[in-house]
Structures are given as structure tokens and as C-alpha cells.
Amino acid sequence: DEMDVDTIWMDGEFMPWDDAEIHVLSHGLHYGTGVFEGVRCYDTEKGPAIFRWEDHLDRFYESAKPYELEIPFDRDELTEATIELIQRQELDSCYIRPIAFYGYEMLGLNPSDCPERVAIAAWPWGAYLGEEALKEGVDVAVSSWRKHSSSQIPTNSKTTGAYVNSVLASLEAKRNDYVEGIVLNKEGNVAEGPGENIFLVRDGEIYTTGLAESILNGITRQSVITVAEDLGYTVHDDATISRGELYTADELFFTGTAAEVTPIKSVDDKQIGSGSKGPVTDELQTKFFEIVEEQPAEYSEWFTPIE
Ligand code: PMP
């Protein structure tokens, strides 16, 4: 139950969930000058552990850099706060949402006088696109909205304001009865999903769009690349994928912290492969869930235990 949570960490203090409020004239609300993360803690056989926390922290600080937003807490402070937040709420598996943003001082565009605010929330969150999506795959459509180019908004920064692009693509997909959209970049090649990276399988090799295609460098994307290589696959991690190549793929799947590894069974009403979860997707998804369940020694550096 999502409402079993009652605590939020904000600016160095734990406080009741309902008290974690901000001023309506906060800079981040008006101009989207915030950065955030989405992280999962898994209830592994060795106890609850945060998946790739250090990598998410790296990206959190890196996201803030273009906006000259100096997150006023160091890595250890954010780690301690997150672990204690999970413990206080007695969560085992959960989704963690750190956010840093410019707060209220004045509303000029230049945020340098605005206070830097930081908060962390954690709550239970199951399969993002549904349990059935993980098993059977999802029907998706190419969005009429293009992904902004990294020359317009840095796409390697997980910037709050930039997510209006994802919201537009997501609303459009749902309005047209698709589970999710795929956004093309300014050049018309495949970028990613609104909150997922995309992978393609063709002739037994694996392709995923490169960073120059204006994508977020997903941490699940990086994990799946590593796992696929460890399983012996050839992975092309800087691919340019055209719209047409989506339709003729043997398999397609999304990756993301929320979406985990989700098969795609159709694009624009065209069946992909056999029209269900393909064998390579199945192998990678099975391995991914095995890793986050078992926390095996081989991937132990990916886990931060809650203890
Ligand atoms: N692309 C976008 C636009 C996203 O919002 C996300 C989710 N953070 C991803 C890709 C996947 O990234 P990750 O695997 O780090 O969650």
C-alpha cells in the first residue's frame, strides 16, 4: 500500500510526509530548475539493498552541474538519509526519489540567489507498466513529439523541467490506447521512451541507441549492456536506429528503473517478432530479476545494503 509511508527527508531533516511542502514561488516550480533520480531498493535474499545507488548518486550530482546547482549535502549524507528513511518506514522493496531544486527567493531567471533545496522520498512501487507488461510485453506507438536535442537541454541531465517532453509523449500514447510512446530525436532517429531506454535485437545481436542520440544514459541500460556482454552477446551500445528498423526488429524491449526490462510486442500496430516476449529479451529479463533477487557475488558492487 503506497500510503503506508509517512516520512520524507528534506533539507537535512526527517519530517511527516504531509509537511514536506514548498513555497508556490519556488524557482524550480516556475522554471523546472531541478534535478532528480529514480532508484529502486530490492528485497534481496541477502536483505534489502539499493540497486546501483552509487551510480544514481553520480548522475544526480552530474545532472545538477549545467544549472550550477550545488547540492548542499555530500554523498555520505544523502546515503545515510536514504537508508534511514527506508528503515524508519520499514520498507523492504521500494522506489526512491531524490530531488534537488532551486527554492524561493526571487523569480528572475538567474537562480543564483535561490536556496538549493533537497528532498528524498521512498515508497512501495510495483511494476511501472504492470505485471502483465513484464510477461507479455507492451503495445507502443512512435510519438508525434520529438525528443529535445542535447543542444537544447542537456539530455544527460535528469532535469525536472525537461520532463514536459516525456509527459506530452506519455499523454499522447495513452490517449491513443498505447501503453507507452517512443520518441524520435531531432534527426528523426529513435531516441528512447518517455521514461525508458530502448533495445533492439536483430540476428542474435543487441543494439541500443547511443548517447549522441539525445538520450538519458539509463542505469538499467548500462546494467543490461553489462549483463548481455557477460552472457556472451555482442552489444552495440552506440547504435543509430531508424524508425523503419523498429518494425523489422526480431525483438524490442524497454529498460528503466521503473520499467525494469519490459518487452515491446508491437509498434504502431505492427507486430514485433512473434508478438510476445522474445527469447533474448526473456534471457536478459530473467537474468536481471535473478540479480536483483539474489544479489550474487559477481554483481555485489551494484548493491548498497540497508542495515
Ligand atoms: N530515459 C528517460 C528519459 C528516463 O526518464 C529514464 C528513467 N530514469 C530512463 C531513460 C532510464 O534510466 P534508468 O535506467 O537510469 O532509470
pTM of the model as a whole: 0.97
Does the CB atom of residue 221 touch ligand 1 within 6 A?
A: yes
Domains and CATH numbers, the chain: 2-123 (3.30.470.10), 131-294 (3.20.10.10)
Confidence band of 1 (pLDDT split at 50, 70, 90): very low
What pLDDT does residue 136 have? 95
CB 114 within 8 A of CB 105: yes
Closest Cα to atom 10 of ligand 1: 196
Annotated catalytic residue, options 147, 158, 265, 277: 158
Query: What is the mean predicted confidence (pLDDT) over 78-85?
Result: 98
Does the CB atom of residue 98 touch ligand 1 within 6 A?
A: no
- CA dihedral over 71, 76, 77, 81, signed as positive or negative: positive
Instruction: Give the pLDDT confidence of 233-290 residue by residue, as tens digits.
Output: 999 999 999 999 999 999 999 999 999 999 999 999 999 999 999 999 999 999 999 9
Instruction: Give the pLDDT confidence of 12-63 residue by residue, as tens digits.
Output: 999 999 999 999 999 999 999 999 999 999 999 999 999 999 999 999 999 9
Does the CB atom of residue 37 touch ligand 1 within 6 A?
A: no
Q: How do beta strands 303-305 and 47-51 pair?
A: antiparallel
What pLDDT does residue 3 have? 58
Instruction: Give the pLDDT confidence of 162-218 residue by residue, as tens digits.
Output: 999 999 999 999 999 999 999 999 999 999 999 999 999 999 999 999 999 999 999
Closest Cα to atom 9 of ligand 1: 196
Q: How many CA atoms lie within 13 A of 272 on its CB side?
A: 30
The neighbouring-strand residues paired with 34 are 101
